[in-house]
Chains A and B, each alone.
Chain A
Amino acid sequence: MPTQQPLTMKPFFHLLAAAMIFSLSSCSQQLVRVRPFERGNLAHPLMSGDRDTLLLAMTSHAYFSREASFGGGGVGGGGCGCN
């Protein structure tokens, strides 16, 4: 037969759980968030998605051709797949 914990421990654990949820949610925001002055690497031109216009044009063309049945890169409808 399983042993039960004394009832007096429950409020303590509930209080601890509530404190943890509250504190972890607020501190995780502080830990995970990249602060504005730490965005040097993110602001680097290499991080840009369209740094190479030729590569972007080729990738877009391939994507448009491949996904033509779904409308490619923004055109609603499509369906022939003949781009």
Chain B
Amino acid sequence: MKLIITIISAACISLTAITAAEPTVGTTLPNLNGLLPGAALPKTAGRVVLVDFWASWCAPCKASFPTMSRLQAKYASKGLVVIGIGVDENAKDYQTFAAKNKVGFTIAHDSKQQAAAFFNPPTMPSSYLVDRSGKIRHIHKGFKGAKTEAEYTKEIEELLAQ
């Protein structure tokens, strides 16, 4: 009996520890190629990276796409990389959505939700702005139109200047 209780306690404590290890401001961006096997991702070393989590069923995510495309077009030459990670459980939903909505930045399907489970985005969409040294500097929860775009622009310009 004691053994069973001890095993259950240990399992729960370790589970809590695993799920609590999500990235926050100041932590280093993990290797996305490892989390998204098979995805063709651009080089991120020495660049400012905007990692955005979206899903086909998420209306604000769709609303954020033109902003992401604009940011990519405006700042790509200065060293910005925008990566949109689609977290749809159903691959067909992702493919249909990606085919309908052409975007001006890299998108990748997190088919096994490994990246989503690691980042544990607090809302949909959520985005992580990473500086040239690979550290997460800003986390955006949700998308509020022009207000969020203005915040992105200010933060990206600051990070690109560093």
Contact = CB atoms under 8 A, between A and B. Distances in A.
Interface string B116-127: 100011111010
Contact of A37 (B2, B9, B113): B113
B6 interface: yes
Contacts of B120: 35
A40 B55 contact: yes
Contacts, number: 55
A19 B19 contact: no
A39 interface: yes
Given A16-B5, A20-B5, A43-B58, A37 B124 contact: yes
Determine chain A's interface SS by DSSP, over half rule.
helix
A35 B58 CA distance: 14
Contacts of A40: 55-57, 88-90, 93
Contact of B12 (A24, A35, A39): A24
A6 B89 CA distance: 54
A43 B54 CA distance: 13
Interface footprint category on B: 20 to 34
B107 to A, nearest CB: 15
Contact of B15 (A27, A36, A43): A27
Interface string B52-70: 0101111000000000000
Contact of A20 (B12, B89, B116): B12
Nearest to B15: A27
B92 to A, nearest CB: 12
A44 interface: yes
Interface in A8-62: 16, 19-20, 23-24, 26-27, 30-31, 35-40, 43-44
Given A30-B15, A35-B120, A37-B113, 8 more contacts: A20-B12, A23-B13, A27-B13, A30-B16, A30-B19, A36-B123, A37-B53, A37-B121
Q: 5 tightest A-B contacts by CB?
A: A23-B12, A43-B57, A27-B12, A37-B87, A37-B116
